[in-house]
Structure 1
């Protein structure tokens, strides 16, 4: 049973210009870390991602949630985790601070992810292995489907899983081949044009077949110039994505996105405010067939449901350290499977946890093994950092979710 808990505020300054985008110019990559220690000595580690200030507030909220798990057996918790998730996310006083978003939901993600890590370690398997071996009913028991009944009932979720289980065996080779990655670090916002050019060359040399550039400059000409630099260096066969990090108003987005279409972007990401579902619907229709990628700052399954219902998103970028953790991530992946919309997670964990979840998405749900974002800036701090070879994530084999950090305080 869970005997002790430990909450840690971990902050990691990164290199000059790294991590910068149109909104977040000087980030400090940070984790609000939850550790659940059981009576056998195993430690489950989970976290939520922030950019520095406020990380302590997430830690304080995580402490509140984690305290309620003391004395509980992890297998018993996970057998009906969807019920527990519903109870914690709707705790009356904390719910007022959300609901299901902001500091309290990030804190729930940290605790939820620690539960999944401890569960996998208790069984002695990587998280991806634990998840792909669960029955449809066991998976759905870990989910909270409330507020989704108009789109996905428990019975429909189980049927969707069963319908896709038939192809599991045919999708297992991804374990050996590895999961494709894409390079986000070629074009951080504060990087010079020349650095972007050199980074593109390195990414291609390292085997990446997709890469992403930050846009959203005050002068649209800068975005257009840099986007064409990436296309020129990468060539026509490389997928190039553009990410505005919510910088534009809708009129600005329509104007600049139409101009950016000349370099054939694979998607345009977060063009305007993440809560404005109807603005994204309008933009998606205006720039079709160019697709939008949405989700880095979408906090919960209900808003993702709205994006899917309106046909606004060509790609969903749900992040398990942004929504309520692994449980809500799987719920949203199920919704996306119903709509046949690809899930390409944002990796607020730098790919550590999500390398497990995309394997589950592909093998169990039948999502296309498209690619997973790769950001290397915190690799040195992990006990088992992700391994990328020739542009592919090599499948992790250690027990757990790959979220253990070195030198925990």
Structure 2
């Protein structure tokens, strides 16, 4: 199956009032820069990078630059040594200068890489999670770029980690029957009034969710504390509640508000300060223990994830395959997190479409704990095969590919 042409789409979706709002992104427009790999067959590979509207056109232009080298390539040949291909693209001298490995160029790389994996799975007529499980450890590692990981995760160590998980895989395949547990992020968007977050909490519980998240980071910390208490009172002591500041606080503010939020026994406090501030996150993690820090939604690449993990600055790794360099870098980071004993609970800029596949592989193939996956339903009507949630669980996708196809 040969790639014959590349089509790029700028897809933007307006949201109802309050939906998607957080302390930093108060009026979001959800959007995707989409890479479409056309082939000499009816099959097209679709890859997404998530943005918030303005600037999506810049990512689309970068996809044009990055993807041109894929024309004429046969998908099996391309993916057999994709780790080296990935590094060649990411380290293209003129484009690397614009990052390196972050920003518009890296978002574009995510879309291109995700399209390659989607096409590969479709060409084999299996869902992405099955494709990844079907690969031998060496074949999977061949799709990854482990450069700059030499001191923490070599190729041989990555293969050994995966091989060591093979004997117990059958003990973890029960997730294919139950589905993968979800948590509801749409309970407490930042601009929702108090009565709406209470009603949403009740609705989420009625729909089978016992884990949910509230957006915090108000100019008045009292608002955050009051709203968190409302959700705890509504959901009860046994519910799992997370809070997410979306980078709003400086370090002193974070330390103060996190201490106050401890009264609701949060499962984690997410993005408490600037996403590049490794030492700041480390200080917060130490200060608020035994409460935990989750971050990664805006961490752009594997090297910074490595630094966070080395510094013990994150308790939950929220790597996102539509922000880092696609499925390949997601799996690379997941392997390192597994080696260092940190759970991966992805952020789902793709609304859970691709990540429902990746968490299945992380659990079955890598031995990551089955915790839960974020659920955001607001773009559901636009997908050809939207993620299905039943009783609070993602149902296992059965259609070939990565579930990324968007309706025309």
User: Do they fold alike, i.e. is TM over 0.5?
Assistant: yes
C-alpha separation between the residues in 1 aligned to 2:5 and 2:313?
44
**SS at 1:44's partner residue?**
strand
Which residue of 1 is the match for residue 58 of structure 2?
57
**SS at 1:20's partner residue?**
coil
Name segments (4+ residues, structure 1) moved above 4 Å: none
**1:12-31 equivalences in 2 (<5 Å):** 12-31=13-32
Which residue of 2 is the match for residue 145 of structure 1?
146
Which residue of 2 is the match for residue 293 of structure 1?
294
Does residue 274 in structure 1 map to residue 296 in structure 2? Answer: no
C-alpha separation between the residues in 1 aligned to 2:104 and 2:81?
25
Does residue 342 in structure 1 map to residue 346 in structure 2? Answer: no
Residue 169 (structure 1) shift: 1.0
Which residue of 2 is the match for residue 2 of structure 1?
3
Does residue 310 in structure 1 map to residue 311 in structure 2? Answer: yes
C-alpha separation between the residues in 1 aligned to 2:236 and 2:151?
44
Q: CA RMSD in A?
A: 0.5
C-alpha separation between the residues in 2 aligned to 1:265 and 1:229?
13
Does residue 108 in structure 1 map to residue 100 in structure 2? Answer: no
C-alpha separation between the residues in 2 aligned to 1:147 and 1:360?
24
Judge which range, 161-170 or 127-136, deviates more.
Answer: 161-170
Which residue of 2 is the match for residue 258 of structure 1?
259
Which residue of 1 is the match for residue 383 of structure 2?
382
Which residue of 1 is the match for residue 126 of structure 2?
125
Residue 289 (structure 1) shift: 0.4
Which residue of 2 is the match for residue 391 of structure 1?
392
Tell me the TM-score normalised to structure 1 length.
0.99
Any unmatched runs of 5+ in structure 1?
none
**SS at 1:364's partner residue?**
helix
Which residue of 1 is the match for residue 39 of structure 2?
38
**1:194-213 equivalences in 2 (<5 Å):** 194-213=195-214
Residue 165 (structure 1) shift: 1.5
**SS at 2:153's partner residue?**
coil
C-alpha separation between the residues in 2 aligned to 1:331 and 1:166?
21
**SS at 1:68's partner residue?**
helix
Which residue of 2 is the match for residue 222 of structure 1?
223
Residue 272 (structure 1) shift: 0.2
Does residue 369 in structure 1 map to residue 376 in structure 2? Answer: no
**SS at 1:32's partner residue?**
strand
C-alpha separation between the residues in 2 aligned to 1:172 and 1:351?
20
Residue 41 (structure 1) shift: 2.0
C-alpha separation between the residues in 2 aligned to 1:304 and 1:342?
13
C-alpha separation between the residues in 1 aligned to 2:177 and 2:16?
33
Which residue of 2 is the match for residue 158 of structure 1?
159
Residue 164 (structure 1) shift: 1.3
**SS at 1:9's partner residue?**
strand
C-alpha separation between the residues in 2 aligned to 1:26 and 1:219?
19
Q: What is the CA deviation profile of residues 208-258 of structure 1, one whole-angstrom value per residue up to 9, with x for unaligned ones?
A: 010000000000000000000010111111110000000000011001100
C-alpha separation between the residues in 1 aligned to 2:5 and 2:384?
21
**1:161-200 equivalences in 2 (<5 Å):** 161-200=162-201
Q: What is the CA deviation profile of residues 9-40 of structure 1, one whole-angstrom value per residue up to 9, with x for unaligned ones?
A: 00000111000000000000000000001112
Does residue 352 in structure 1 map to residue 353 in structure 2? Answer: yes
C-alpha separation between the residues in 2 aligned to 1:293 and 1:282?
13
C-alpha separation between the residues in 1 aligned to 2:326 and 2:167?
27
**SS at 1:306's partner residue?**
helix
Does residue 241 in structure 1 map to residue 242 in structure 2? Answer: yes
